[in-house]
């Protein structure tokens, strides 16, 4: 069966360059491109042939781990490799803890990126050689990451919108559900994150997001 990879990045030049670089890895396969999580969902929806997603961390409407959390919650069976300009150990560890199968800094050579993709397609895990994933969790952020991983796809969406400062009725309108449904989601989010208010929930996710604005992830 032919391999199918989806490259998700809002920069068309990078998407094109990465697609071209990976053609030799899956000579008989297919590489699709998406500029947003919405585009990605449209490519995945109703199909069962996606073997790997290469995901940028920062795109319009998505910052940091939010997009990865949502994708892992929606499609837990599809491996995800984060491709990012960020290469600090904590960012890489957090992504792997949320469920990424690999992490590829954009500074890597074409050969290294190909090797990472081949490793993940083969069922392995790929991170930069200097990253020690065996180091025990020793920060409050690690606990927050673990709790965020228990959220459902809809709860992740609601939490992302809470972070944008939207009210329950605004979230309900955008998601096409009742305000009572959103209130129920918020209550579940607070319970899963072990916080007492929506403000504390937003603070919790901001603590693990860090500053994703520079460099462009």
Same domain, 145 and 114: no
The pLDDT score that the predictor gives to residue 31 is 93
Average pLDDT for residues 1-10, to the nearest whole number?
A: 89
Three-state SS across 16-41?
HHHHHHHCCCCCCCEEEEECCHHHHH
Same domain, 98 and 175: no
Q: Considering the domain boundaries, does residue 11 fall inside one? A: yes
Same domain, 14 and 106: yes
Close Cβ partners of 135 (under 8 Å, ≥ 6 residues apart): 93
Distance CA 64, CA 205 (A): 10
- Note the pLDDT tens digit of each residue in 75-132: 889 999 999 888 888 888 888 888 899 999 988 888 999 999 999 999 999 998 877 7
Same domain, 25 and 55: yes
* 210 pLDDT more than 60: no
How much of the chain is in helix, strand and coil states, percent to nearest 5? 50, 10, 40
Predicted confidence band at 136 (pLDDT cuts at 50, 70, 90)? low
Q: Considering the domain boundaries, does residue 167 fall inside one? A: yes
Token look-up 């050689």 returns 129
Same domain, 76 and 174: no
* 28 pLDDT more than 70: yes
Close Cβ partners of 74 (under 8 Å, ≥ 6 residues apart): 41, 153
Average pLDDT for residues 50-71, to the nearest whole number?
A: 83
Same domain, 117 and 33: yes
- Note the pLDDT tens digit of each residue in 158-191: 988 888 889 999 999 999 999 999 999 999 999 9
Mean pLDDT (the chain, rounded):
85
Q: Considering the domain boundaries, does residue 214 fall inside one? A: no
Instruction: Mark which of 76, 92, 121 sits at the end of a domain.
Output: 121
Q: Which two tokens stand for residue 214?
A: 């520079």
The count of domains in the chain is 2
Q: 110-140 in b/e burial notation, b at 16+ Cβ within 10 A?
A: eeebbebbebbbeeeebbbeeeeeeeeeeee
Same domain, 144 and 102: no
Same domain, 83 and 148: no
CATH number for the domain including 173? 1.10.10.10
Strand 4-8 to strand 102-105: parallel, antiparallel, or no bridges (unpaired)? unpaired
The pLDDT score that the predictor gives to residue 216 is 44
Predicted confidence band at 140 (pLDDT cuts at 50, 70, 90)? low
CATH number for the domain including 18? 3.40.50.2300
Question: Phi and psi (nearest 5°) for 83?
Answer: -120, 110
Query: Containing domain of residue 102, as a range?
Result: 4-121
Same domain, 96 and 151: no
Same domain, 90 and 17: yes
Same domain, 67 and 20: yes
């Amino acid at each position: 069966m032919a391999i199918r990879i989806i490259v998700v990045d809002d920069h068309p030049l990078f998407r094109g360059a990465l697609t071209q670089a990976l053609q030799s890895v899956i000579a008989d396969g297919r590489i699709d491109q998406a500029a947003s999580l919405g585009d990605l969902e449209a490519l995945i929806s109703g199909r069962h042939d996606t073997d790997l997603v290469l995901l940028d961390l920062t795109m319009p409407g998505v910052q940091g781990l939010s997009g990865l959390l949502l994708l892992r919650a929606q499609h837990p069976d599809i491996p995800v490799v984060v491709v990012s300009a960020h290469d600090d150990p904590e960012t890489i560890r957090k992504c792997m803890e949320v469920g990424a199968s690999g992490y590829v800094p954009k500074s890597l050579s074409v050969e290294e990126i190909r090797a990472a993709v081949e490793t993940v397609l083969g069922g392995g895990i790929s991170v930069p050689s200097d990253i020690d994933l065996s180091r025990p969790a020793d920060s409050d952020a690690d606990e927050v990451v673990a709790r965020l991983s228990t959220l459902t796809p809809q709860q992740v969406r609601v939490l992302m919108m809470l972070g944008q400062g939207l009210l329950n009725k605004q979230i309900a309108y955008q998601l096409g559900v009742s305000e009572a449904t959103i209130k129920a989601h918020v209550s579940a989010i607070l319970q899963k994150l072990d916080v007492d208010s929506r403000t504390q929930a937003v603070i919790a996710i901001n603590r693990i997001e860090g500053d994703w604005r520079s460099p462009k992830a």
